[in-house]
Amino acid sequence: MGTAIEAAGLTDVGRTREHNEDFFLSDRELGLHVVCDGMGGHASGEVASRQAAETVREAVTRDPRFAADDPAGWEAGLREAITAANAFVHGGGGADHRKRGMGTTCTVLLLRGSRAVLAHVGDSRLYLARDGQIHQLSHDHTFVAEALRAGVITADQAADSPHGNVLTRAVGPQASVLVDTLPFDVIPGDTLLLCSDGLHQYVGPAGRELLDALAAGDFAGLPARLVDFANERGGDDNITALAVRMVAAPPNEEHRVSQKIADLATLRRIHLFCELSMRELSQLCACLESHVFAPEELIVEQGDVTDGLYVIVEGEVEVLRDEVKLASLATGAHFGEMALLNQRPRTATVRAKDHCRILQLPCQAFHGVVQHDQVVGVKVLWRLAQTLSLRLDEAYETPRQREHARTTLNFGLYPSPFDPT
């Protein structure tokens, strides 16, 4: 993997447990980093966690999809690898009654160059620290976390719940398992942290303590500092911390990385996407298609039925209706959002004024994301509905209303119904 990536990990029994059922592996040649937190007692947990991690490593070593430069193939391969680990652990429990019910969490990061894929089951976590902020990229598969995401309980109720450690998914206890996956891009300076709940249970929702630890001191000593942090706060479970940092972009990917940085910065400024977490934005980014247009080149023609939303990352376009110029749109603007909702012909022509790079979010790809994660759809459609309501308002303004400007917030009167955390 070259010198662009550095990794360091440590696992510790903690202060109250007799055995360490956590297991981690970090294979820089494969680009594979795994944290598993076993459960089952009588040494079953440590067997399950090691078996799961080694099964994933074996799959990544032998499956030809991992030899190709294809994140979609890695994603499918990791999903199958964890499914195979589930069958292996479940079968081991069935063969030995003392190990019946054994299982493990499994959080896998495959990082090659600047492309990464997360595959995840359970309540171990993957965090991303970037530009002075920390983002949780994995979802906890626990009763409390799922109730919180569904809006059944509040954040305060979740913090006080006695059921915080009740898993809804794990590798091994059942004959089948549902695996979460997330492809995303990594940029220079990013630090990724895989950890068991023996560490993250002591971290507040904002993750400030983790961010401070990740930014302080030498990288090689980071896992030990995090283990000390958890032990100082009680250490009532096994503790594992595995940190991975991108020091520099691989030389053959510098141009791609710079484009991805520009793409993400542009998307975060667009009001349709401003509700999205880093995880949710990464889901959308994986669907985007990048197109380059020469000056005067046609992008969208009036009357055509074209697909999806367009976002201008570089350059400027002009919008015309019946050859009459309506507007110019520059970097950071978007058009075509109604195509996410209907297939009616375009009401205007859009042409590049100069060299342009534009991102397209195809309708079917957006619908696929929404089907997978309805919260993303609600957040985007909430913003879109606000925008369209103001346009409708303006369309029916009387001359008198136009003379007396009405003061409103940019995109609606109501504050967001979504918790910013």
CATH no. for 255-403: 2.60.120.10
* Residues in Cβ contact with 294 at an 8 Å cutoff, skipping those fewer than 6 apart: 352, 355
- At 392, the pLDDT band (50, 70, 90 cuts) reads confident
Model confidence over 252-266: pLDDT tens digits? 899 999 999 999 999
- At 2, the pLDDT band (50, 70, 90 cuts) reads very low
Q: What average pLDDT does this structure show over 390-405?
A: 71
- pLDDT value at residue 405: 57
Can you say whether residue 8 is alpha, beta or left, with left for phi > 0 and alpha for psi between -120 and 50 degrees? beta
- Whether pLDDT at 95 is above 90: no
- Whether pLDDT at 355 is above 80: yes
- At 66, the pLDDT band (50, 70, 90 cuts) reads very high
- Dist. CA 169–CA 177, nearest whole Å: 7
Model confidence over 3-62: pLDDT tens digits? 589 999 999 999 999 999 999 999 999 999 999 999 986 568 999 999 999 999 999 999
Query: Where are the chain's structural domains?
Result: 5-249, 255-403
- pLDDT value at residue 421: 47
The encoded tokens of residue 35 equal 């944290």
- At 100, the pLDDT band (50, 70, 90 cuts) reads low
Model confidence over 114-141: pLDDT tens digits? 999 999 999 999 999 999 999 999 999 9
- Whether pLDDT at 164 is above 50: yes
- Whether pLDDT at 403 is above 80: no
CATH 3.60.40.10 applies to domain 5-249: yes
* Residues in Cβ contact with 137 at an 8 Å cutoff, skipping those fewer than 6 apart: 118, 126, 127, 128, 182, 184, 278, 279, 282
Model confidence over 212-244: pLDDT tens digits? 888 887 999 999 999 999 999 999 999 999 999
